[in-house]
Amino acid sequence: MAFSVVGKGLPRIDGASKVRGGAVFGADVKLPGMLIGVFLPSPHAHARIRHIDTYRAEGLPGVKGVVTAQDAPSLRYCTPAYGPSLCDRTFMARSKVRYFGEPVAAVAAVDEETAREALSLIAVEYEEIPAAFTIPDALLPDAPLVHEELLSYQGVGREARGNIYLQRSAARGDVSRGFTESDFVFEHTFATPMVHQSYVEPHAMVAAVDDAGRATVWTTTQAPFNIRSDLATILQMPLSQIRVVPLEVGGGFGGKLFTTLEPICLLLARKARRPVRMVMSREEEFLIARPRAAVTARLKTGVKRDGTLVAREGEFYFDTGAYQGAPVSFGVRFGLGPYRIPNAKADAYGVYTNKVSAGYFRAPGAPQVTFASESQMDIIARELGIDPWEVRWKNAWEEGDESVTGERMGRIGLKKTLEEVRRRGMWRADREVGRGRGLACGQWYTGGGATSACVTIYEDGTVGLLTGAIDITGSRTGLVQILAEELGVAPERIVVPVPDTDTIPWTGETSGSRITYGGGAAVLQAARDVKGQILGLVAEKLEVSAEDLELGGGRVYVKGSREKSLSLGEVALAAQGTKVGALLGWGVVGRLSPAPVFATQVAEVQVDAETGQVEVLKLGGAQDVGFAVNPLSVAGQMEGGMAQGMGYGIMEAMIFFRGKVENPNFADGKVPTAADVPSMATAIVEEPSDGPLGVRGVGEMPIVPTAAAIANAIHDAAGVRIRELPVTPERVVAAVKEKRG
């Protein structure tokens, strides 16, 4: 089938306005009488709060409101939309603080200086108590408990124990027998650190309450409906009394999925009876936002001499920090790799520690466990003397294979991505001294949360598309392309207003690489709905059958007779005078089956064995995207993901000392800059899914295998195997030293 708009590299429709500074972000919202809100962070990682005295702060001129957790009718909340969840989270500390930086009180004042001065006047009496800072700390039998009350995981029914709040497990076959039947058994432990999403725009929001008590919150978020729900729980308001306006997101990567300061901001606005703005400083971002969880993974793998996998067992400990939020179940889902394993077992645990609580970050859980799995696959290949590519090829999933969680593969593109990196010469045998090449596969999936779309044809033939999909990856452009294609209009004739929770067609959070997949399906449904109305009306007007009509160039034609036609604008205007009324199409798509996604990446590095310095020379990736609605955007996502994966591999980590982040800024906490990013090659594989136009999710996949590919390349170059991320010069030097003995 020939397409005229989809499949083409259309530049982002919102690109120009973002480049010129016209797009509206959270910190751009200005309301008359607006105050500035700031919060008081806990100076302890674990302490009881004996008393909070806000009297002096309240008396400071210019201070319009001071709040503590006491001001909210409800302390705990959990977003129902995330399905089964543990209601352990508090929006502010009340009887005790569980991590350094946890908000304890907040102030709204006429300016930030006054507000910060007021913070210094708040007297909090703490009683420090022993803390559990690391997974080993937390798992000791007599470890201090981060949460004394063990809450039952709603909807799962599993009782928590000690600091373990959740266990998820899956198994198939018999791993004990599998290991017995193996020629070789490998067992290793791997570790990954907490890493912040490092989006350019920090969390920023404005809250206002109207005369009737109805609240509006403007915020940077990937999940406006979840924020509304959390606010309703905490402030005990009906959902109908809260409007959340999602603004442009200056980088999200999963870090803007969760409610952060919104309840505090709204409480301040309510107390001060004036709008309040809160914008996190970069340091606050590192203190209280929700980074990628640290994971410790133990992998035991049995193989035949020829590299065939026989058994694999994985244990994945997710360090979630002070509140649940680590993507534990994804450890089970992705931890054993995309391979045919007859005997498999995976257990993942969520562990509390006295640190900032973890959340989601691009392909949550997958980069951590894939670093472990793909490092070990590389170890196995090297030990058996088989090409790492061959080991993957031999075991890689094909149609009909089944995962440890019981998911049966349909048509998938994993082996095609392996073929592609070889065909394109990304994976080659030759190499120079001091240089190395590493390969890694990765898997992810396209989430299927509910989404909706609404399409209107205006009387001049321009088109409005309403969608609740938040654009964090350029997905709006892809949706416009799908709509333009289906209606036969130019993409620039389509406008995508940014609505709010009052007026958005209901949509789940923007996550799971699902916008083009699920949102695209909703847009197609809406487009077909309105197309049916158009064809019906024109058929009646021109006295032909609807089947004899076609759309193109913003007009409806009688097939084979280009003269007989009506413009979409004429049809829309005519509709207003008929029983049709408005040309308005509607698409609601519920939860879809997830579509699996696969990628293979190759890293080429140069290692200075003396200094430990690693230079990534090239990154190449092949990814199955099902169908590339916008190849330009797909390539951009692949490149961005690999760059971010490279940061994860060799640079990024939140460094803690007794629970406190020691590098809460971009001076001490490095991320790759443009100068660090190497030359990249991307290969798009298109093995159609069952989704609209066959698409699969794109955005998250590229970050998954990169760190492993780089670690494998470092081993190839320098002969040292680093099993803890990031692969810093210090670790390389230490390993080289140890190897040299």
Which of 1, 32, 148, 543 is close enough to bind a second copy by CB under 8 A? 32
H-state helical runs in 516-674? 520-542, 568-576, 631-650
728 DSSP assignment: -
Binding piece for a second copy, criterion CB under 8 A, among 192-200, 414-422, 451-459, 685-693: 451-459
Using the rule CB under 8 A, is 464 a contact of a second copy?
yes
Tokens of 741: 């003995």
- Could you give the C-alpha distances from 158 to 150, 155, 297, 324, 463, in angstroms and in order? 11, 9, 22, 14, 50
Between 78 and 146, whose beta carbon lies closer to a second copy? 78
Pairing outcome for strands 309-321 and 96-97 = unpaired
Please work out, in degrees rounded to the nearest 5, the angle formed at the alpha carbon of residue 196 by the alpha carbons of 192 and 198: 135
* Contact (Cβ atoms closer than 8 angstroms) between residue 397 and residue 322: no
Q: Which of 128, 399, 502, 540 binds a second copy (CB under 8 A)?
A: 502
Give the one residue of 2, 21, 408, 560 binding a second copy; rule: CB under 8 A: 21
Question: Interface residues for a second copy in 182-241 (CB under 8 A)?
Answer: 210-212, 214, 229, 232, 238-241
Q: How far is the CB of 257 from a second copy (least distance, A)?
A: 16
Question: Can you spell out the DSSP letters for 236-271?
Answer: T--GGGEEEEE---S--TTTTSS--SHHHHHHHHHH
351 contacts: CB under 8 Å, gap ≥ 6: 135, 138, 139, 163, 164, 165, 317, 318, 319, 320
Q: Stretches 140-148, 195-203, 455-463, 615-623: which one binds a second copy (CB under 8 A)? A: 455-463
**Nearer to a second copy among residue 588 and residue 617 (C-beta):** 588
Give the Cα separation of 614 and 435 in Å (integer). 10
Question: Do 335 and 348 touch, CB atoms closer than 8 A?
Answer: yes
Q: How many CB atoms lie within 10 A of CB 642?
A: 29
Which one, 21 or 385, has the nearer CB to a second copy?
21
Stretch that binds a second copy, among 306-314, 504-512, 554-562, 709-717 (CB under 8 A): 504-512
- CB of 193 or CB of 692, closer to a second copy: 692
> How far apart are alpha carbons 320 and 316 in whole angstroms?
12
Count of chain residues binding a second copy (CB under 8 A): 61
Kindly state the tokens that stand for 121.
Answer: 């006047």
518: which DSSP letter?
Answer: I
Q: Which of residues 318-347 bind a second copy (CB under 8 A)?
A: none
Please report, as residue ranges, which positions from 73 to 102 form the binding site for a second copy (by CB under 8 A). 80-81, 83
**Residue 226 burial (C-beta neighbours within 10 Å; 0-12, 13-18, 19+):** buried
Residue identified by tokens 């629970």 is 659
Considering the complex, state which of residue 398 and residue 540 has its C-beta at the smaller distance from a second copy: 540
Query: Minimum CB separation from a second copy for residue 274, in Å?
Result: 13
Query: Applying CB under 8 A, does 694 fall inside the site for a second copy?
Result: no
Stretch that binds a second copy, among 420-428, 588-596, 681-689, 716-724 (CB under 8 A): 588-596
**Would you say 22 or 552 has its CB closer to a second copy?**
22
Q: Least distance (Å) from a second copy to the CB of residue 448?
A: 10
- Tell me how far, at minimum, the Cβ of 586 lies from a second copy, in Å: 5
Contact characters 506-525, a second copy, x per CB under 8 A? xxx-----------------
Of 132, 257, 584, 635, the one binding a second copy by CB under 8 A: 584
Query: Cα(178)–Cα(175) distance, rounded to whole angstroms?
Result: 5
| Residue 270 binds a second copy (CB under 8 A) | no
Burial of 272 (0-12, 13-18, 19+ CB in 10 A): buried
Transcribe 30-88 into DSSP letters. Answer: --TT-EEEEEEEPS-SSEEEEEEE-HHHHHSTTEEEEEEGGGSS--EE--GGGSS----
- 27 vs 194, beta carbon nearer a second copy: 27
Q: How far is the CB of 582 from a second copy (least distance, A)?
A: 3
Contact, 71 vs 134, CB < 8 A?
no
Is residue 43 part of the contact set for a second copy (CB under 8 A)?
A: no
Does 460 sit near a second copy (CB under 8 A)? Answer: yes
Q: Does 10 bind a second copy (CB under 8 A)?
A: no
Choices 55-63, 139-147, 586-594, 643-651 (CB under 8 A): range interacting with a second copy = 586-594
Residue 235 backbone phi and psi in degrees, to 5: -90, 0
Query: Within positions 589 to 608, which residues make up the interface with a second copy, using CB under 8 A?
Result: 589-591
- Residue number with CB closer to a second copy (79 or 601): 79
Q: Which amino acid is at 258?
A: F
Select from 263-271, 285-293, 491-499, 610-618 the region that touches a second copy (CB under 8 A). 491-499
Query: Which of residues 546 and 588 has its CB atom nearest to a second copy in the complex?
Result: 588
Q: How far apart are CA 510 and CA 261, in angstroms?
A: 19
- Does residue number 463 form part of the binding site for a second copy (CB under 8 A)? yes
Residue type, 114: T
536 binds a second copy (CB under 8 A): no
Smallest separation (angstroms) from a second copy to the CB of 637: 24
> Restricting to residues 562-581, which ones interact with a second copy according to CB under 8 A?
573, 575-581
Distance CA 424, CA 446 (A): 26
The correct pick among 450, 539, 677, 733 for binding a second copy (CB under 8 A) is: 450
3-state SS, residue 318: strand
Given a contact cutoff of 8 angstroms between Cβ atoms, the answer to whether 272 and 297 are in contact is no
Which of 75, 151, 495, 544 touches a second copy by CB under 8 A? 495
For a second copy, the binding residues (CB under 8 A) are 16-17, 20-23, 30, 32, 80-81, 83, 210-212, 214, 229, 232, 238-241, 243, 449-452, 456, 458-460, 462-464, 466, 493-495, 497, 499, 502-503, 505-508, 573, 575-584, 586, 588-591
